[in-house]
C-alpha cells in the first residue's frame, strides 16, 4: 500500500464525517460571506475596543466550555503518523486589552512526554458568546492550526479579538475569529447545527459544524465539530496534506 493510500485509509477510520443539514462546503480559497453587515446581529466583529464590563465572570457557552481544570485528550492523525494532543483550561486569568481571559494550553505528546505547543486566550461575554483574544505559539513545535500558526494578542500591533462561537449558533452566520494584518485573518461560517461525526471511538450527534478559512492560508479548509457540553469533538483539515483531530476523552475540572 502506498503512503497516500495508507493515509487515506487511516483518515477514513479516524474522522469519518457524516454531515446532515445544509452545509456550506462549496468553493475553495475564498472567505465565507457574512450574514448581515457584521455577521451576527448586534455584534461588531472583530472588536477594536472590547469593554471589560461586557465580559462578566461566571457566564459560559455549552458548545465551548471553559471550566478550569478541564482537559480534552485527542488523537491527531497526519500524513506521516499520529500523536496525542491534550488541551487544558488553566486556572489563572490573563488580562488582555483590559479583559480577564481564560487560557487553554495545548500540549503535544511525543517520546513519552508532553510539550506545550501553544496557549490560547478566550473570554465569554454576558450573552454567552466566546471571543478569541490571542495566542502564544511555541517555536519549533508541531503546528496545531495551519490557519493561524503565529502568535498574536488583541490590542497589540492593531490586532483585534474576534468571535469563535455564539451562544446560539445559526446556519449561515459568518464572522472573523481574529484579525491582525498578515498575521491572523481566520474566519468561520456555521455550516449546520445538526451534524454527525464518527471517529474511531465515538459517534457524536447534533454537533455544530463550522467551516474555517483564512486568506493567509488559502489552500487549507478546516471543518470543526462542537458537541453540547463537550466542546471541540473533531476537526478535519481537508487539504491534500490534511490532518484530523478526534476526541478520545474529557477530564472534567
pTM for this predicted structure: 0.85
3-state class (DSSP) for residue 228 = coil
3-state class (DSSP) for residue 83 = strand
Break the chain into its structural domains and give their ranges: 3-251
User: What is the per-residue pLDDT across 177-225, written as a single tens digit (0 to 9) for each?
Assistant: 999 999 999 999 999 999 999 988 899 999 999 999 999 999 889 999 9
DSSP assignment of 185-209 equals -EEEEEEEEEEEEEESS-EEEEEEE
Q: How many CB atoms lie within 10 A of CB 170?
A: 12
Q: How far apart are CA 174 and CA 172, in angstroms?
A: 6
Q: How far apart are CA 207 and CA 226, in angstroms?
A: 5
CA distances from 189 to 75, 186, 192 (A): 25, 11, 9
The CATH number corresponding to 3-251 among 2.40.360, 3.30.70, 2.60.120, 1.25.40 equals 2.40.360
234 bridge partner residues: 225, 246
142, 108 Cβ separation under 8 angstroms: yes
pLDDT reading at 35 higher than 50: no
Q: How far apart are CA 192 and CA 171, in angstroms?
A: 5
Q: What is the mean pLDDT of residues 63-90?
A: 94
User: What is the per-residue pLDDT across 84-143, written as a single tens digit (0 to 9) for each?
Assistant: 999 999 999 999 999 999 999 999 987 778 899 999 999 999 999 999 999 999 999 988
Amino acid at each position: 500500500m502506498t503512503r497516500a493510500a495508507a493515509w487515506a485509509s487511516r483518515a477514513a477510520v479516524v474522522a469519518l464525517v457524516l454531515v446532515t443539514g445544509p452545509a456550506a462546503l462549496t468553493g475553495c480559497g475564498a472567505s465565507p460571506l457574512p450574514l448581515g453587515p457584521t455577521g451576527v446581529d448586534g455584534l461588531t466583529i472583530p472588536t477594536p475596543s472590547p469593554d471589560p464590563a461586557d465580559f462578566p465572570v461566571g457566564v459560559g457557552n455549552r458548545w465551548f466550555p471553559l471550566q478550569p481544570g478541564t482537559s480534552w485528550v485527542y488523537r491527531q492523525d497526519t500524513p506521516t503518523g499520529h500523536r496525542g494532543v491534550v488541551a487544558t483550561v488553566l486556572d489563572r486569568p490573563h488580562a488582555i486589552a483590559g479583559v480577564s481571559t481564560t487560557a487553554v494550553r495545548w500540549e503535544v505528546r511525543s517520546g513519552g512526554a508532553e510539550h506545550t505547543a501553544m496557549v490560547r486566550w478566550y473570554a465569554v461575554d454576558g450573552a454567552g458568546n466566546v471571543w478569541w483574544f490571542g495566542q502564544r505559539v511555541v517555536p519549533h513545535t508541531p503546528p496545531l492550526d495551519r490557519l493561524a500558526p503565529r502568535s498574536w494578542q488583541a490590542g497589540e500591533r492593531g490586532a483585534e479579538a474576534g468571535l469563535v462561537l455564539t451562544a446560539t449558533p445559526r446556519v449561515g452566520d459568518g464572522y472573523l475569529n481574529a484579525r491582525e494584518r498578515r498575521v491572523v485573518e481566520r474566519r468561520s461560517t456555521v455550516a449546520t447545527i445538526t451534524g454527525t461525526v464518527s471517529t474511531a471511538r465515538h459517534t457524536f450527534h447534533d454537533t455544530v459544524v463550522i467551516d474555517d478559512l483564512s486568506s493567509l492560508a488559502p489552500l487549507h479548509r478546516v471543518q470543526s465539530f462542537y458537541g453540547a457540553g463537550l466542546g471541540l469533538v473533531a476537526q478535519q483539515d481537508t487539504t491534500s496534506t490534511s490532518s484530523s483531530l478526534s476526541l478520545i476523552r474529557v477530564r472534567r475540572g
